[in-house]
Chain A
Amino acid sequence: MVRGALFKKSLRDMQKAKVQFISIFVMAALAVSIITGLDSVWYTVRRTTDAMYAASNLSDLWVTVSNPSEQDLWGIRRLTGVTRVEKRFSAEADTALPGKPTLHVYALDDRSTLDQPEMREGRFGRYGGGAVLDSSFAEAHGLKVGDSISFKLNGVWMRMPIDGLALDSEQVYAVKNAATITPNSKEYGFAVIHAGALESVYGRSVYNQISVKAAPDTDLDQVVREADAVIGKRLIGITLQKDSASVSSVNGRIQQFKSLSVVFPLLFFIVSALITQSTMVRIVESQRGQIGILKALGYSKRSIIWHYTSYGVITGVLGSVAGLIIGPNLFGRVLVPQLRLSLSSYSIHVNYPNFLLAFLLILLCTGGVSFYACRKLLADTPAVLLRDKPMKEGTHVFAESTTLWQRMTFSNKLMVRNTMKNKGRFIMGVIGVMGCVGVIIAALTLRSTIAGLNEQMYGSTFTYDQKVLVDPQKTDSHYLGNLGLDAVTQQVQESAVEVICPSGGQKMEPITITTKDSPLIHMQSVDGTPVSLPDTGIAMSRKLCDTLGVKQGNSIWIKRTNKGYISVPIEEVSYMASGQGIYVTDGYWRSLGETFSPTALLIRWNGPPDERFLKSDMIMDSATRESQNSGLSESMQVVNFAVAAMIIMGASLAFVVLYNISILNFTERIRDLATLRVLGFHHREIRNLVLLENYFSAFLGTLAGIPIGKFISWLIASSLDERLDLTGSITLPAVLTAAVMTLGFAWAINTMVARKMKRIDMLEALKSVE
């Protein structure tokens, strides 16, 4: 029956101190749910995409070459590590659907096994003449299996029955090109067809890509270099799986949430651990006399220790389990869909190793601490324990040696000594506020950074009204130069080029060729001075320089059409918030032996837009600057969402921390305060003794929060999207707003505590020494 009685005591104790236990439970649940929640986002994406890549047999790299020959295939097949090579055709096609959406068409060989679509409905019929369509695209356009789809390849319209709907590993993050940032199924999708179907367009089977699958642990960079040598001059480019548009975007998202799930949980964890720990110690210490009674009654040390340890263990386990349930379901279920990935049906995955780590830390902060506190008390004899707790010692503090001390009022002296004596509590407050301020600053910075990004891209760098994509086969530079439009125009060729860096790395990178006199694109250096395109070299965006590991003055090798590589110097580095790549003039491009065939025309109308021109045959697509601008903002939604959630949690954290420490500060000193009241101090005179400390820790926490905010901003900005070059530098208004908000919290809490203080019962507090 011994155990039964103690167990009843546990339950009643917990009920009696329910506020403390609930707060420990909440802190544990909060910390664990943030860790497991944020982890579950990237973990789910990684698990799901890995499974998709494996199921679709996604290639490790693609070699783009016009009309690959059997020798090309054979040459690559015999490279070390390569297990399979296949030819395919990959190109973008216009459709006749409303809004003129683009379809990325993949034409596969009948015997192909690589890069297979993942069927959701219908089937990818062998030897058939039908197409498998992007399931989200089909949904956005109301198409079903059995309907037909028309698209234009090489100037010829093709009409095909839809045999099935599918997902594609290369289109998980389905964006048309570097200019579009958010997937939009209304505007872009993919179709997979049989290569044989292209005969009706081209008169024969055409291919432009070799899909290469290699054995695990193959040195892919080596394969790239050797494949380059095999193909020689006809090579257009080689893309590794990790550099391909969708895969790299997905990895970017994973990386983004990985960074978030380190920084935020760390902040929350430190504070939760501090609160849990200090509360637990106090709960056990308040039972001092009871421990003495139990000991005097003859309970064994072990059963007493377990009795008190179980307080912490039970709360810690319950909190962790609640966190495990809440976190992935809240963060995972809300944030994964926000990423706008076309994933096969997935369930939220929990990263159990990290959960276990969090769980153990929580147990250490609850059970471990109660064990330790109880053991420390048990060292005393029952007689000592049953006596009053010895008086807390006052100590002189360092500040007393300064002259300032002499001039301080008693209230301030008391506050300083009290703060110094309870450093743990004070530090807890500072850290809690620091986290809160840091998160708020980061969120505000991110918002202003994105606004600034739009401003930089579509306010000062690009000054066109409209960007029209033209069909290079129907027009050329000379023709575009003599359109006679009532507008300022600039011709642009947007393409990709195979690049070899000084370090030996080889990659395909975007290149923009435009006229030397650039009326609608105004490039700037990092410090804001205008940059004009060089005549004897290339300009490169800063972020790309960082990615490739090159700097101004270096030279890189670039691949020319049907010719070998040529070394070009990087003469300018420009800051481009979005649109990373290489920029060259048409003159320099021609001097390399290339032709300038514009793919787009930038236009700033002097009058109303020329509708007749916009409807002409050579125009493939057009976008206004406003629509590009808003597309950019939209892609930040997911981050805004995550950060908003973080602000709420950060604020509630600061709230809990500040409330907790002021209540502790108040209850632990209730005797002192009552004494002062008896001496004749008025309520408002002693109020500040407790509350000033809160303002003080809020102030220091705000100061400490600035670098934290700076760090979080930088972290988010740099991991947001590899196509964006964001600095995440914090601004004064962001800091001030965060500071004002935090001081507001401190004020609100102080008002609550002050109300509590007003109700001090002097007689009750002074009746007996506890």
Chain B
Amino acid sequence: MDFITFENVEREYHVGNNVIKAVDGVSFELEQGSFNVILGQSGAGKTTLLNLIGGMDSPTGGRISVNGQKISDMSEYELTEYRRTQIGFVFQFYNLVPNLTALENVQLAEEICADPLDAREILRRVGLEDRMDNFPSQLSGGEQQRVSIARALAKNPQIVLCDEPTGALDSETGRRVLRLIRDAASELGKTVIIVTHNAPIAEMAQTVLHMRDGKIAGTESHDHPKDVEEIVW
């Protein structure tokens, strides 16, 4: 059975008198433990799609089910609970809490999750054992993104959602971050969805959803996705 299922999902926004369909009748399925990329130009609706998967937004039409739960019908409280237990987010701009140290940002997960991973262990895994007590402002962009990944993983979620995780990083750092996401995810058996406008990244995915104007313009599957090192951008 498919892990993530979208059935004719729509998301409309009202801007003044205009109705904008950010996601317009999208259907697809993704498997558990897969590594996926949603690719599209800016404004194609890919972030909206990601937010819908992550329970940060609710569809105006269609059905979404994740891991057997029908999240398109969930209440605000249930959605929070869903995010809390099932989803890990990695943002383009990291969104670390500036007043908490790297370690504490990761430990946030321990506060809310039933089955969190050890924060120090995860930070060691992402190569930050020496920077645990630094505040975000004392870390470089790449380091901050690694903390952000550690925070997402520490919650021990089913799904890790990444919105342009390399968008604010130089290519070398970006590559390292991507490798980290993929290695960690496959090691821990997580489903990963990365949103990007950066086409070469798609080559490392098992499934690629091409988005254009709120619709799925095409789906690609790679039986043998490329290694991060082979990708050039």
Contact = CB atoms under 8 A, between A and B. Distances in A.
A681 B112 contact: yes
Interface in A379-433: 390-395, 409-411, 413-414, 417-418, 421
B98 A393 contact: yes
A51 interface: no
A572 B79 CA distance: 80
A671 B99 contact: no
Contact of A681 (B54, B80, B89, B95): B80
Interface in A644-682: 671-672, 675-682
Interface string A727-764: 00000000000000000000000000000000000110
A769 interface: yes
Contacts of B57: 763
A79 interface: no
Interface in B147-164: 151, 155
Interface string B169-202: 0000000000000000000000000000000000
B3 interface: no
B84 A679 contact: yes
Interface in A209-228: none
A395 B136 CA distance: 10
Given A394-B137, A763-B56, A672 B97 contact: yes
Given A410-B104, A413-B104, A763-B51, A677 B80 contact: yes
Contacts of A769: 93
B62 to A, nearest CB: 19
A420 to B, nearest CB: 9
Interface residues of B, number: 35
B137 A680 contact: no
A678 B89 contact: yes
A680 B101 contact: no
A759 B114 CA distance: 27
A326 interface: no
Contacts of B54: 678
A411 B97 CA distance: 12
Query: Considering residues B99, B137, B151, B155, which has the most beta carbons from chain A within 10 angstroms of its beta carbon?
Result: B99
A673 to B, nearest CB: 9
A414 B97 CA distance: 9
Contact of A680 (B91, B93, B104, B112): B112
Contact of A675 (B51, B95, B137): B95
A766 interface: yes
B98 A672 contact: yes
Interface string B90-133: 01010111111100100111011100000000000000000000
B137 A392 contact: yes
Interface string A677-710: 1111111010000000000000000000000000
A414 B100 contact: yes
Contacts of B109: 679
Nearest to A671: B95
A394 B103 CA distance: 13
Which of A393, A675, A769 is packed against the most chain B CB atoms within 10 Å? A675
A733 B208 CA distance: 71
Contacts of A763: 51, 56-57
A685 B107 CA distance: 15
A411 B82 CA distance: 21
A679 B155 CA distance: 9
The A interface, classified by DSSP as helix, strand, loop or mixed, is: helix
B137 A393 contact: yes
Contacts of A410: 100, 104, 107-108, 111
A762 B58 CA distance: 12
A417 B99 CA distance: 6
Given A763-B51, A766-B91, A394 B112 contact: no
A680 B111 CA distance: 10
B89 A762 contact: no
Given A679-B83, A679-B155, A392 B108 contact: no
A294 B120 CA distance: 47
A671 B135 CA distance: 17
A391 B95 CA distance: 11
B85 interface: yes
Contacts of B38: none
B87 interface: yes
B81 interface: yes
B98 A680 contact: no
B100 A413 contact: yes
B83 A678 contact: yes
B77 interface: yes
A393 B134 CA distance: 10
A394 B56 contact: no
A394 B93 contact: no
Given A680-B80, A680-B85, A682-B80, A394 B99 contact: yes
A246 to B, nearest CB: 64
Nearest to B93: A769
B135 A394 contact: yes
B145 to A, nearest CB: 14
A406 to B, nearest CB: 12
Nearest to A417: B99
Given A393-B137, A762-B56, A763-B56, A679 B112 contact: yes
Contact of B99 (A390, A414, A677, A768): A414
A244 B100 CA distance: 70
B135 A676 contact: no
Contacts of A418: 99
Contacts of A411: 111
Contacts of B137: 390-394
Interface string A284-303: 00000000000000000000
A755 to B, nearest CB: 15
Contact of B87 (A392, A395, A680, A681): A680
B13 to A, nearest CB: 10
Interface in B40-76: 51, 54, 56-57
A675 B90 CA distance: 11
Contact of A679 (B82, B99, B101, B108): B108
A409 B100 CA distance: 12
Contacts of A395: 135
A393 B104 CA distance: 15
Given A680-B112, A680-B155, A394 B85 contact: no
B111 A409 contact: yes
A766 B95 contact: yes
Nearest to B135: A394
Given A393-B98, A410-B108, A413-B104, A678 B136 contact: no
Given A678-B83, A680-B85, A672 B112 contact: no
Interface of B: 51, 54, 56-57, 77, 80-85, 87, 89, 91, 93, 95-101, 104, 107-109, 111-113, 135-138, 151, 155
7 contacts: A390-B137, A393-B98, A418-B99, A678-B89, A679-B108, A762-B56, A769-B93
Given A392-B137, A679-B84, 12 more contacts: A390-B137, A394-B98, A410-B111, A417-B100, A678-B83, A679-B83, A680-B80, A680-B84, A680-B112, A682-B77, A683-B80, A685-B112
What 5 A-B pairs come out closest when comparing CB atoms?
Answer: A680-B84, A394-B135, A680-B83, A393-B137, A675-B95
